[in-house]
Structure 1
Amino acid sequence: MPQRIQNKETTLNSTVILEKDGPVARLILNRPEKHNALRFDEMDDLVAALRDAEYDDDIKVIILKGNGPSFCAGHDYNDAVKSYGLELTPDGGKPRRPNQRTRLQRDRRLGMSYMAFQNSAKPVIAQVHGHCTGVGIYLVELVDLAIAADDACFSHAEQRFGLAGNTWHMNSQILMYGAKVARELMLLGERFNGSEACRLGLVNRAVPLAELETTVENWAGRIAKHPRDALVTGKAMHQMALESLGCAAQFTRGFVGHTLGTNLRFESDEFNFLRERRESGTTATFKLRDMNHRDAD
């Protein structure tokens, strides 16, 4: 059973916290030393916490946030390499390429996790600070509302792994940004701050970091004034409208596309992250990747 602390119900494992405080639930990513980069099993834990909040009739609104210096810096790349069976063998040999059925099963599971946040039965507000990329920015794009610190750092730099616009929820991105801007964000992978995220329509408000939590909590309290039935029926109608615009089928296309996009053949003159990582390590290779995509001065 959840432990009650200072009038708050808190369920805690090492990396995902579910905090219940009256009508407000907070899903808190808790891997601050890694900027809340998520491993695959932690994504499952996050969805389980979301379901718990959805099924609790006392909860009216859900806040998604992160402990430490960042909201979420994406997936933990080292975990992704292992999960996709791409890690070197113990003797240093190249791994056997995973079969397509295994890859599709893994990516389908991840796609359904993203869909769970788009289709949450109750409103979800993202509270964004620090780094927000990969799975972090995907979640912000999919939830109902988002408020960011004006100095938060957003990007679709994950597209530089070889995806180049092959993404999980393209319909939502085109609707949010417009087709041309969506392509720009995917193909360039450039960083932008919270104020620019607000201009682009990714977040509803950008505020100074010192005001972020107060602003989010104020919005959550105001939303919680609505009747329970009104909130869930309003969200159901919103979901139906998204589905009529193709935002349900996008996840099936997304997981198939991700399997294809992470199973590329790189030519000898192209930047191969896995090959470089074997030689230079993960951190150094991220720097090499971003240098490779910089503007030529």
Structure 2
Amino acid sequence: MELLSLEIDRKDNIKYYNLINILTDLEDENISIMLDTHNNGYDKIVYSIKNIERKAESLEIITKKINNVIKEYMILKCYEYLEESYFYFEEQEVDNIKKNIYENINNDLKTYLIFKNKIKEYLEEYDTINIYGFIKFRLKFIIAYVEQIVEKCIDDHLIKKEYYNFINILKYFSDDESSNKNIINIIYKNKKLQIYDENMRKISIVTDVEFSEELEPSEIVYDESIINLIITISPKQIILHLPNEDEEVDQTTKNTIDIINKLFVDRIKFCTSCEYCKT
């Protein structure tokens, strides 16, 4: 029994052979596939099923494949928009943004379900679907979505770039200081990070050095006093007593811990089970 057929324009922006591979790569004994080549610029993939009782299941499988083609189309459109509108980014930056775009689109469950429902609605009325026509007329919002995805991924890239620049500047200060304490302990207590010496005596957060004043304004929210103090002390070893998994930690503390970890990666040791971690 013929189930449905897909029309594919060889001039579609989706890479033709990649599209064919996606739509014909089915591991289901109930579905047979025939590729019908025409001289009018269109090819047709015809899906037939052996067991009519599995019609709904077979349609679900094919719908997923069509959905994957739409995702490939969006990824390609995002790449084109990025390269045309943001040509001034360096090659490595473009590669990083493209990777982010790919991950965002493939992890966007909400949009995936919207496409899936649109495809199902269409197949309830028709048994032939032209891939490009379906995208162009039934999914008009894709163009706006593509621009939003690219803008979001560029923003993410710039924030990450700013963050690593920020870390590198802090590293300059931390490496510049001579160590005057062997060990310090950092403990999350009373909903904030506190610093103790190797004998577990609390170190007061008093320092005349404000490294943050040397930095450009940043959107990164962190505990400046903790970072300033650790850089001033510049210990040979840091024992970071991590909060319990069930303990709620605010974003400022998370950011501060992440910065400490990146700044002192060769000096840091994590602890999760001592008496100070549990109190």
TM-score (ref. length: structure 2)? 0.29
TM-score (ref. length: structure 1)? 0.27
The structure with the larger Rg is 2
Bigger share in helix: 2
